[in-house]
Structure 1
């Protein structure tokens, strides 16, 4: 057996035959041609076994190449294996920013796009919606390009592909002139946030909140473009050292969870900072967790959250992490959970050192009952039948997959169960 690999949270483990980090396209092509099975790995931030394989596990972080900006400076070709941290820093040096980002940035660009990773914003889609073209290495090592005008069927499937159509080596993405963001963090009673929610969504480019299941106060976070105010002095939105201590204490004595949580978020929190967008969007999340996230039709988001909180309280479950509540615009991507229209994204977390499986098993039917569809990289139990029921274009995606990888070289057991014809 080869080197052991684990994902970020430690819940997914594999022993691939080999882990490789090719430096050139020729080296990558040789690996792809000769591999029996192959998956590409970024930062391992998927909680589902997307990177699990007993074949070759390939990181593209060291692959040659740089950023090429279009003449009108609205698009850029970027290495698919670069982390979002590396990419956004390079774009900033060129006077450019991504249209949107999520709240962490170690993920590889290809991994974020191929799973539908997103940030916040009622008028802003997932990172997949920013993709305009792909250079894709096929199972035989050949490279082809796809876009809306070149191999359009492949492009539509590749926009959110879960890595099933080949190895993306370069991706063309939308960019904007570099901008700064003002971040405001404020604590408010959850009921007050609920009353103001429509107003908050309408008046802010980005708005989200965090609420602990046993807390009454929510941390409201807004981001809006603003003039720069010099170097960013505070690099993280919140200091999580005290939170880590609370999590460890609750792991040792779970009954304390309900007592300690109301003390974490106190009334009167007011915090502000301004900085380059690529530094304000992400935050360091050093307390490791397991996560389930469901994308729920906009009209059903609050009911789903209230029911999930009631479920936890009724059973006195020791859940140490907060729920995260965000807005995301709709899109037209075949496998996107946002392709039916704008959504509320509800993320449920649990400390990685504490039990989480039964907790998620109880929440998932609640989210599903409210019309939710899961983030592909977060914990879920979708079956092939579920995929067909939730995604009308699933058969079309499978047909494109079969045409470009008939031997299913790029599928592992989990993905084959959903997308490979038996």
Structure 2
């Protein structure tokens, strides 16, 4: 077990901590040892993946555990369509290693730097009206509980605990291995186009129903938005390495980064730069294997708030957001990301019990976001919104309990698996204990 003590911050720089101790266990036994030591010494610990959550969910001033040394595939069952993987495995690496075995995950989000454990613990999702969050792909999970015991759960062996662990916020134990339901590797055709926002909203239900994946990006103060569609295909892979690099990396990151810097120095230019960005939305088509197509490079850093809403709320919420932005004239140029996700029965999943719309708002790093996010959050909450666990929001225990029918059931499982409450930090206490 390598040990390191240094300051820590998340990807956006919005959260900083100075852990007393940072551990990188290289085996389940070393994870058990760390938990038992915390239990004996009355200490607290948190686990960090890639630090891509915008909240303080992983921050610790005591013990911080990274699973970066626990990566890769443990075993594969091609006939059963499952694979057991180490919890610290980054999604990009996971896709590549599964592909070697002819397998793939059925859906992913648009960033692939997270660890698989971090992704499921926070309810990370992609888009697709008939597809659930990444947590719905779990067939089994092995955790080291707050008592230092190794426990493997499936829906058959521990139905209650399993439902709690599918989205656990890292509050029930340290996930060390995950068994995933998989499918044969497949190709997707990706099409990007422009569409006026008014038309997009009119056709959003149809586009969501007729395409495996549909999402749109609306640029504040602009009429054109970007439409992204992906569907399965047997067409040959279309590879344009130079052209795709220029579009995906240079234009979407370097150029947008320069424009963002202008907005930070001169906030009054935000609306104009948003309109400029909307006018330059890429139009084109790609065909590639799924694990290479879902994610895009995100080099321009920002802060983000994302809320889950009933699917039918997508259009009225966007319309109200647009009216509020026009009235309050926020200095924002980052697009609003809009996606659909199938409902599920996972206790702390924001998609619990309802087919969902997800709407995410962003602000460039270093620009004030509080007033903008607060105004958007007020709209989201009026429509029954539930916050994404890895994104910024203002809710705590009492208000969250109102939005999750199985809230108390989750807390009961937590009392069983972490009775000494060592898997805590102030942020988790605010969520679960206030």
Q: Same fold (TM over 0.5)?
A: yes
Question: Which residue pairs with 1:167 in the alignment?
Answer: 174
Q: Matched residue pairs, number?
A: 421
1:22 to 21, 25, 50: 25
Alignment of 1:17-416 (within 5 A): 17-35=20-38, 36-63=43-70, 66-230=73-237, 232=239, 233=241, 234=244, 237=248, 239-240=251-252, 241-266=254-279, 269-416=282-429
Question: Which residue pairs with 1:8 in the alignment?
Answer: 11
Q: Secondary structure at 1:340's aligned position in 2?
A: coil
Deviation of 1:231 after TM superposition, in Å, equals 6.6
Q: Is the 8 A contact 2:384 2:403 kept in 1?
A: no
Q: Secondary structure at 2:296's aligned position in 1?
A: coil
Deviation of 1:237 after TM superposition, in Å, equals 4.4
Q: Secondary structure at 1:402's aligned position in 2?
A: helix
Q: Is the 8 A contact 2:122 2:169 kept in 1?
A: yes
Q: Secondary structure at 1:202's aligned position in 2?
A: helix
Compared CA separation, residues 65 and 126, structure 1 to 2 (3 A): closer
Deviation of 1:320 after TM superposition, in Å, equals 1.8
Q: Give the distance between the partners of 2:229 and 2:154, measured in 1 at CA.
A: 34
Q: Give the distance between the partners of 2:131 and 2:120, measured in 1 at CA.
A: 14
Q: Give the distance between the partners of 1:64 and 1:362, measured in 2 at CA.
A: 40
Q: Is the 8 A contact 1:25 1:64 kept in 2?
A: no
Give the 4+ runs in structure 1 shifted more than 4 A.
235-238
Q: Is the 8 A contact 1:228 1:276 kept in 2?
A: no
Q: Secondary structure at 1:209's aligned position in 2?
A: strand
Structure 1 unaligned spans of 5+: none
Q: Is the 8 A contact 1:104 1:284 kept in 2?
A: yes
Q: Is the 8 A contact 1:67 1:76 kept in 2?
A: yes
Matched, 1:419 2:422: no
Deviation of 1:195 after TM superposition, in Å, equals 2.0
Deviation of 1:229 after TM superposition, in Å, equals 2.5
Q: Is the 8 A contact 1:228 1:275 kept in 2?
A: no
Q: Give the distance between the partners of 1:290 and 1:401, measured in 2 at CA.
A: 30
Q: Secondary structure at 2:332's aligned position in 1?
A: coil
Q: Is the 8 A contact 2:23 2:64 kept in 1?
A: yes
| C-alpha RMSD of matched pairs (Å) | 1.7
Task: Report Cα offsets for 1:152-210 as digits up to 9, x if no partner.
Answer: 22111101100111111001111110001111110111111122222211211000010
Q: Give the distance between the partners of 1:360 and 1:264, measured in 2 at CA.
A: 21
Structure 2 unaligned spans of 5+: none
Deviation of 1:121 after TM superposition, in Å, equals 0.3
5-14 vs 28-37, which moves further:
28-37
Q: Secondary structure at 2:11's aligned position in 1?
A: coil
Q: Is the 8 A contact 1:217 1:267 kept in 2?
A: no
Compared CA separation, residues 8 and 269, structure 1 to 2 (3 A): closer
Q: Give the distance between the partners of 2:108 and 2:225, measured in 1 at CA.
A: 22
Task: Report Cα offsets for 1:363-391 as digits up to 9, x if no partner.
Answer: 11111001111101111111211111111
Q: Give the distance between the partners of 2:421 and 2:387, measured in 1 at CA.
A: 24
Q: Secondary structure at 2:402's aligned position in 1?
A: helix
Q: Is the 8 A contact 1:48 1:377 kept in 2?
A: yes
Deviation of 1:259 after TM superposition, in Å, equals 2.0
192-201 vs 370-379, which moves further:
192-201
Q: Is the 8 A contact 1:114 1:160 kept in 2?
A: yes
